[in-house]
Structure 1
Amino acid sequence: MASVKQIQVTFDCAEPERVARFWCEVLGYVVPPPPTGFATWDDFDRAVPPERQGSAFACVDPSGVGPRLFFQRVPEGKAVKNRLHLDVRVGTGLVGEERLAALEAECARLVALGAVRMRLLRADGYNESCLVMQDVEGNEFCLD
């Protein structure tokens, strides 16, 4: 039986670099170095066929702990709710008003980056409060 060593989270999107750079800012991730032989990602992009230029981008956790995020251009737009989403864990260990304040502060930072606030889901006795948001292309995620 094979043992999973790492996972990568892949996003289908219209503008891979734009969405990747948004998530770099959200998570503190970085753009990895370009492939060997290329000084920049722009140099690499110019070396691929025109129809493939700008078709993919990635970002990585600089500590090497979190998964690599990969963004690939697809022709169709987002039509329905995500079946998978990221939870950005900014309120871990916090409850009540302290948790809400942490969620709201991070929400304000992300809205300034282009995210959209959708709705607040208040604590219900089983789950703590979280904020449902959308990234720059409308992909849902939660501030948790």
Structure 2
Amino acid sequence: MTTTRTVQITFDCADPATLALFWTEVLGYRVQDPPPGFATWDDALDAFGVPASERNRASAILDPAGVGPRVFFQRVPEGKQAKNRVHLDVRAAPGLQGEERMAALEEEATRLGRLGAARLARYEPAPPLELGTIVMADPEGNEFCLD
């Protein structure tokens, strides 16, 4: 018997709050609300006795429609060492092909660049699928593709 499971995507990072806000803009997500009974995360963390120096240990963002996976950001002491073995493909031009597709990807790459992303490479449409991509990195260097 096979059981279907949901997934959470987790990023190791230096600054969870900042990276979470960046990815809310990329994915159209929102920062996860504080626990019930608290107006803000600071209110909740005060009640839980979490010191100010430990308040940026983690952050999470959610798909407002409840369809996509939760994305979790956790602070780690080490920096990014090498190319990601797994990365996200952000579907920025679904259904488009050729120059129309590349123009839409360029527009999104420019928008994300203003938010702190870096452009790493552009791959032109080529047979057999005629689909191009733009490889980007988030503000902490995690690679992702605009697809």
**2:83 matched to which residue of 1?**
81
For residue 19 of structure 1, give the secondary structure of its aligned residue in structure 2.
Answer: helix
In structure 1, C-alpha distance between the alignment counterparts of 2:33 and 2:85, rounded to whole Å: 31
For residue 30 of structure 2, give the secondary structure of its aligned residue in structure 1.
Answer: coil
1:104 aligns with 2:93: no
How far apart are 1:2 and its partner, in Å? Answer: 6.1
In structure 1, C-alpha distance between the alignment counterparts of 2:108 and 2:134, rounded to whole Å: 10
RMSD: 1.5
Task: Deviation per CA, 1:14-56: give whole Å up to 9, x if none.
Answer: 0001000100011110112101232201223343443642100
Spell out the pairing of 1:50-129 with structure 2 (5 A cutoff). Answer: 50=51, 52-127=54-129, 128-129=131-132
For residue 105 of structure 1, give the secondary structure of its aligned residue in structure 2.
Answer: helix
Moved more, 120-129 or 22-31: 120-129
TM-score w.r.t. the length of structure 2 is 0.91
Give ranges in structure 1 of 5+ residues lacking alignment. none
In structure 1, C-alpha distance between the alignment counterparts of 2:132 and 2:107, rounded to whole Å: 14
For residue 12 of structure 1, give the secondary structure of its aligned residue in structure 2.
Answer: strand
Query: What is the count of residue pairs matched by the alignment?
Result: 144
**2:133 matched to which residue of 1?**
130
Give ranges in structure 2 of 5+ residues lacking alignment. none
Q: In the alignment, is the contact (CA less than 8 A) between 1:45 and 1:54 conserved in 2? A: no
Q: In the alignment, is the contact (CA less than 8 A) between 1:130 and 1:143 conserved in 2? A: yes
